[in-house]
Structure 1
C-alpha cells in the first residue's frame, strides 16, 4: 500500500478554531495497526488538549466536573462560537452533484445533528498522549492563533526526530495568505519539502531545520525547547497599593478571539483599556538593545480581593514614546486573596529601545471573560437601583464602574511589593542568520464573483462596532464575521450562489451589573441555483444566545433548515428541521 499523509485544513472563514489540526495530531498518535499507511502530518492551529480548564474562568463558560477547551493564556472561545460550526455542518448537498437524492441526504445529515447538541461548548476530551505519537509532525501556528501554545508543548515533549515547529506573525489562517500583520511565507513549498522528505525519502533538508523557527523582529532559529539562550529575567513592579475595580465594559478592545485577517480582528491601540486598568511600566533603555521575548511571560500578583474571589486579567503591552500601546500577550486567572501566578499566552516580540514594557491588570475583560457576580447577587430581571459612576481614571488604579454599589464585584487591590514580571528574554543564537522562507506561491484564484448589492441592508456594516447607549448605560460590541475576503454574497464558477450573513453581539449593562452580560450569534446561509430547472434554494439559520439566568449560565441554540424547489403550486418552503437546544452551566 502506498504511504499517505494527513493534512490539516485551517478554516478560511467563520472565525472559529477548526478540527483539522486536532485530527492530524490524533492521527499522529494512532497505532501502526490502525493507520499502517500514515507517514507524516502537518498540523496548523492544532490543539493537544493539555490546557483544558475546569470551571468557568473564560467566555467558554464552565462545566464544573467537565474539562472544556481553552486557548492561550487561559481564555476560552465564546459560548456562542458553536453557531458557526453548526451552520457549516448543517449545509445541504448540492443537487447539481447529488441529483434528486439531495433532500434525503440532507435529512440524514440533519438527523445526525439532531441527536445531540452540536453547538454546545465542546469537552476537551482526552489530552494527546505524547508518547504515542509515532510519525513526524510539522506543527505550525500564528502568534495571534489562540492555540499557538500547542506548538511549544509539542516541541518540549516529542523527540527531535518526530517534530519541527513554526510560529509566525499570522492570524488563524495559512501562513501563505498574507493576512495582517504578516509577512507571508511560502507555506506550500515548506509542506512540499516535508512530504517529499517523509513520503518519498528525498533529501529536502526538512529535518535539517532548527527545531523551532519563530518570528520576533525577524526569523529566529532554536534547536531545543526551551532553548539555553532564553533567560528568565524578573522585573519588580513599583508603586504603592493599587485598587483594581474596572468598569464592566473593560475588554471591548480585546480584538477577535480567533482573528482571521479582517480589518478589525486584531486588538487596536490599548490606551483606552490601559486607562481602566492598574498599570506598571518598565523602561527599555534608549541606548541599549531591544528586549526580545520568546515564550510565556509570567506575572506574579499579590491580590487582596474585595469579596470571596477576584477575576484577574493581565495584559502585557509595548508602549511607544508617543503613548501608543500595543498588546503583546495576556492571561487570566480567578481566585481568592493571595498570591496568583498568571501565565500569559506564548509570544514572540521585541520591545525597542526607548519603549516601555507595561503590565496592565484589570478586574473585568468582557466578552473574553464572564464578569464575576457578587455573592448572593439577584437573578437577572430583579429590580435594582442604578447608581452613578464613581471614581477617576488614573495611571495606577483602575476606575470603578457604575454598578449600584459603586464597587463592581470581583474587585481587588494589588500590593506591588509582592508583584513581579518574569520575561523569557532571548539572546541571539547561531541559527538565526540561516533561518528564512521563500515567498508565497499559490494556485490561481477560483474565480468567485462578488456581486454588487445596491441598497443591501448590511452593505455598510463595519467589521467591528462598539456602541454605547449613554441613557441606558449599556455597552454593545457587534462583530460581522462575514466581512473577510469574499463578503457576504458570492457567485461560484459552477453557477452556485451563496449568501451568508453573520452577526455576533456582546452586551453588558453597567447599571444592572455583571448578571446583565449577554452574548448572541446569528448565522444565515442561503444557497441558490438559478441554473437548475426548476430553480433550487436552501437555507440554514442558527441563533445562539448565552447569559445568566436564575441557575447560572444558560446557552440556547436554535437551528432552522429549509429547502425550496421551484415556484408556484408545486414549490415552496419546506422546513426539514427546526430544533432548539438548551444547556445550563454553573454560575462562574
Structure 2
C-alpha cells in the first residue's frame, strides 16, 4: 500500500513568473520557478520539467497545482521552455534533437548551482517531457538523481504518434499540424518587449513542415533510433518511476522499461488517457503528486519513504464496460506484482479454428485448404476504433465493435465458466498470406457481453513487410504463407463468467492508419494460429492507491464552453465514408479560457475530415483545418492552418498552408507542398 511522504506542514511558496537561463552559446531559455519561501536560507532539491508547450500560457493551467505542490513539499520546481518555443530564444527544427538534450544538460547544471538548490535535481514529464526525461537520463548528467516519466516511450518508431506496427498513423499529420499551430504562437511582449514581433515572424519563416519530416522516415532507421532508449537501457543509471494509462497510447513502454532497466525502477499503469494521473480520466484518478513526492524524498532527500517496498508494477485491471465512446470512470481493481516480468502470470493459449472457434484445444495444423480462411476488409473497417490516443475527451473511446466485426474474420470462445484476468501484452501467432507485396493485418481482442455488445480490450496494427524487421522491411511474395508473431498493446482486463473472448482479424483500420496501395486480401491457416494471454492468478494481490491532491489552482476563467463532435457517415450514392472530428474553442474540449493573472485568452479550434471508399485505398483523403487565437486587450494574434494528405500507388502527397494575423492584418504566410515516396507502406 502506498504511504504518504512524511513531510512537514506544507510550506509557504513564492512563484517567479519568469526567469532567464542563459546557455553557453548565448541562447536564453524562459522558465517559471516555484520555491519554498525559505529556500535561499535552506537550499532544497529541484525538479525540472522541460517542454516546448509554453510555460506562460500553454501548460499554465496544469503547471500551477503540480509544481506548486512540489514547492509546498520542500522542492524547487523549474518549468523550462525549450529553445525556439514560448519566450525562449532560437529555433526549433524538430523534436528530440541532440541540441535539445545538450541544452537540458546545461539547464540541469545551472539549476544545481543556484543558491536555492542543494545540488540534487530530479526530472519529470508527461509525453514530450516524459520522452526527454528518459533521453536526458541516458546522457547521465551528474546532478540528475532520479526521474519520473509519464506517458512516454522507449522506442520512437514502434510506440509514438508517427508509426505503429510499421504502419503510418494518421495522427502523424494531426500532430504535425498541431505543432504548426503551437509554433505559430507569438512571443509575449510582456516578457520580451518590442522584439516579440520580429522574433515571431522569424520563427514562422524558419518553421519546418513537421509531418513531412517524420513521413520521410518510414522504417526504424538512425533517425528514430536516436532518442529511443531501448537501444541501450544500460545508459540510464538513475532510478526511474514510469507511469502509463490503458486509455493512453504510451502504455507498452512501462512493462518494457521495467524489464529492460538495470536501475531501481517502479511502474504504475492506470485507466487514464493522456492526462497526469491526479487529474486522470477515465477515473479513478490517484494521488500522483503524493507518489511523486515519495519518489523524490527517497532519491533526492535520502528519506526512506518505502517506495522500494512497493510492488514493481501496480496496475489497474479493468472490469467490462459498455462500449460507449465517452467514459469518465472505469470499474476495476488495483493489483500489485512484486516483480516484472512476473512469475505470477501464466500463459493462456487460445487456438483459432476454421469454424470461428477460439479455445484451448489446438486444431489440426495439417488441415490444409479445409482450414483456409480469407478476408478482404472494406477500407472503412475501423470506424469503431476510437482515437489512437485518449485525452479525456468526449467520444474518443472505441465503440461497439460489431460495427467493424462484419469486415473481419472473427474467432470466439464459448461463454466463460470462470473469470479470466489478463495483464500485459497478448501475443498473436499467425500463418498468413496476402495477394499483394504490401499488406497490413489488424488484430482486435474484445470482450463480448451476454447481451451481444462488444468492447475492445486491446488491438494492434502490423505491416507484414516488417515481419522480420522494422529496420529492413521486405515485400511479401503474393500467395506465400508466412509465420508472423507480434504483440497486441498491453492491457489489464477481467473477462467475467458468461462473457466471451473474441479475436477479430482484418486487413485495414481506417481512420487510424493510412491504407496500403492496393485493396488487399489476406488468407489465414486457422488451425496454425493462436492468441496467448498473460493470465493473472485468480486471486491477485490487491493494492490501495492514495486519492488525488493538488497545490494552488491556476486562476482562470472559461469565457466560452467548448464543443466536440465526432461522427462518421456513409454516402450511399458515391460509396464514400467520412469520419469527422470537430472541436470548437478547445481541441480537447476545454473551451475558450483566460489566464486571469496575465490576462491572456486562448481559443483553439480544429476540424479534421477523413474520407475513403470501401473498394479503393487510393481514394483516402485527409483534410485538417485549425484556428488558434490568443492575446489580450491591445495585443491579439491568430493563426489559420490547413493541412491535407492523399496518396497514389507510389507517393504520399502532403500540403500545408499557414497564415498568421496581428489583429486582423495578415503579417506572414507559409506554403508547403511535399511528395514523399512510399517505402513499403
TM-score by length of 2: 0.70
Partner of 2:194: 100
Which consecutive unaligned segments of at least 5 residues does structure 1 have? 61-68, 375-408, 454-458, 565-571
Q: Give, in whole Å, the separation in 1 of the partners of 2:396 and 2:333.
A: 23
Q: Which position in structure 1 is the counterpart of 2:27?
A: none
Q: Structure 1 pair 4/448, CA: closer, same or farther in 2 (3 Å)?
A: closer
How far, CA to CA, are the matches of 2:385 and 2:347 in structure 1? 27
Q: Aligned in 2, Cα 1:6/1:70: closer, same or farther, shift over 3 Å? A: farther
Whether the aligned pair in 1 keeps the contact of 2:570 and 2:576 (CA below 8 Å) is yes
Per-residue deviation at 1:462? 4.4
Counterpart residue number, 1:326: 455
Distance 1:586 1:306, change over 3 A: closer
Take 1:577 and 1:484, find their aligned partners in 2: how far apart are those partners?
23
Alignment partner of 1:499 is 2:610: no
* Corresponding pairs, count: 510
| CA offsets 1:140-184 (integer angstroms, 9 cap, x no match) | 11012222111111101112x42111111111111111412x211
Instruction: Determine the C-alpha separation between the residues in 1 that align with 2:192 and 2:243.
Output: 36
1:143 to 226, 230, 246: 246
Note if contact 2:393-2:589 (Cα within 8 Å) is conserved in structure 1: no
Contact in 2 for aligned 1:6/1:41 (Cα 8 Å): no
Task: Report the Cα distance in structure 2 between the residues aligned to 1:9 and 1:242, rounded to whole angstroms.
Answer: 49
Query: Structure 1, residues 58-93: CA drift from partner, whole Å, max 9, x if none?
Result: 9x7xxxxxxxx5358977452312111221122112
Residues 6 and 42, structure 1, Cα contact 8 Å, conserved in 2:
no
Q: For 2:304, what is the secondary structure of its paired residue?
A: coil
Residues 73 and 344, structure 1, Cα contact 8 Å, conserved in 2: no
Question: What is the CA distance between 1:311 and its match in structure 2?
Answer: 1.7
| Partner of residue 431, structure 2 | 302
- Once the two structures are TM-superposed, the CA of residue 307 in structure 1 deviates from its matched residue by 3.4
Q: Which range moves more in the overlay, 333-342 or 419-428?
A: 333-342
Is 1:229–2:344 an aligned residue pair? yes
* Between 491-500 and 200-209, the greater mean CA deviation after superposition: 491-500
Matches within 5 A, 1:62-141: 69-71=162-164, 76=169, 78-80=171-173, 81-113=175-207, 116-122=208-214, 123-126=223-226, 127-128=228-229, 129-141=232-244
Q: How far apart are 1:527 and its partner, in Å?
A: 1.5
Counterpart in 2 of 1:42?
A: 148
Map of 1:401 onto structure 2: none
* Deviation (angstroms), 1:545: 1.3
Q: What is the rounded CA distance, in whole Å, between the counterparts of 1:83 and 1:271 in structure 2?
A: 32
> Do residues 175 (structure 1) and 277 (structure 2) align?
yes
Q: Is 1:19 paired with 2:148? A: no
Q: CA deviation at 1:371?
A: 1.9
C-alpha contact 1:10 1:172 (8 A) present in aligned 2:
no
Tell me how far 1:478 sits from its aligned partner: 0.8
Match of residue 111 from structure 2? none
Answering whether residue 476 of structure 2 is matched by residue 476 of structure 1, we say no
Match of 1:405 in 2: none
Cross-structure match for 1:347 = 491
Aligned to 2:409: 278
Paired residue for 2:445?
316
Q: Post-superposition shift, 1:6?
A: 3.9
CA gap 1:247/1:505 in 2 versus in 1, 3 angstroms:
same
Partners of 2:202 and 2:439 in 1: CA distance = 47
Residue 297 (structure 2) aligns with: 196
Distance 1:28 1:48 in 2: 12
Per-residue CA deviation, residues 298-345 of structure 1 (Å, 9 max, x unaligned), is 122222323344321000001110011111111122334323223211
Q: Provide the residue aligned with 1:266 in structure 2.
A: 397
Aligned to 2:387: 256
Q: Tell me if 1:544 matches 2:544.
A: no
- Which of 536, 542, 567 is the matching residue for 1:426? 536
**Structure 1 residues 461-492: Cα deviation after superposition (integer angstroms, max 9, x where no partner):** 64311122222111111113556665442233
The whole-number CA distance in structure 2 between the counterparts of 1:52 and 1:585 is 20
**Residue 2 of structure 1 contacts residue 37 of structure 1 at CA under 8 Å; is this kept in 2?**
no
Equivalences for residues 499-538 of structure 1 within 5 A = 499-510=603-614, 513-530=616-633, 535-538=634-637
In structure 1, the residue corresponding to 2:602 is in which secondary structure?
strand
Q: Which has the higher contact order (CA 8 A, sep 6+)?
A: 1
Whether the aligned pair in 2 keeps the contact of 1:467 and 1:476 (CA below 8 Å) is yes
Pairwise CA distance, 1:49: 1.8
Q: Please tell me whether the aligned partners of residues 158 and 165 of structure 2 are also in contact (alpha carbons under 8 angstroms).
A: no
1:550–1:219 distance in 2 versus 1, CA, 3 Å: closer
TM-score scaled to structure 1, two decimals? 0.80
Residue of 350, 353, 359 corresponding to 2:503? 359
Q: What is the aligned counterpart of 1:30 among 129, 139, 153?
A: 139
Which residue number in structure 2 is paired with residue 394 of structure 1? Answer: none
Query: How far does residue 370 in structure 1 lie from its aligned partner after superposition?
Result: 2.0
Q: 1:582 to 1:551 in 2, by over 3 A?
A: same
SS state at 1:315 partner: strand
1:373 matched to which residue of 2? 517
After superposition, what is the alpha-carbon deviation per residue over 1:210-252, rounded to whole angstroms, capped at 9, x for unaligned? 1111111411111222100111121111225332111111111
CA distance in 1: counterparts of 2:622 and 2:154, whole angstroms = 27
Structure 2 spans left out of the alignment, 5+ residues: 1-42, 60-94, 96-125, 215-222, 318-331, 356-370, 465-475
Asked if 2 retains the 8 angstrom alpha-carbon contact of 1:10 and 1:44, the reply is no
Contact 1:10 1:18 in 2 (8 A): no
Asked whether the 8 Å contact 1:303–1:412 carries over to 2, the reply is yes
Q: 1:377 matched to which residue of 2? A: none
Shift of 1:579: 3.6
Q: State the distance in 2 between where 1:132 and 1:230 align.
A: 29
Query: Secondary structure at 1:417's aligned position in 2?
Result: helix
Counterpart position of 1:451: 559
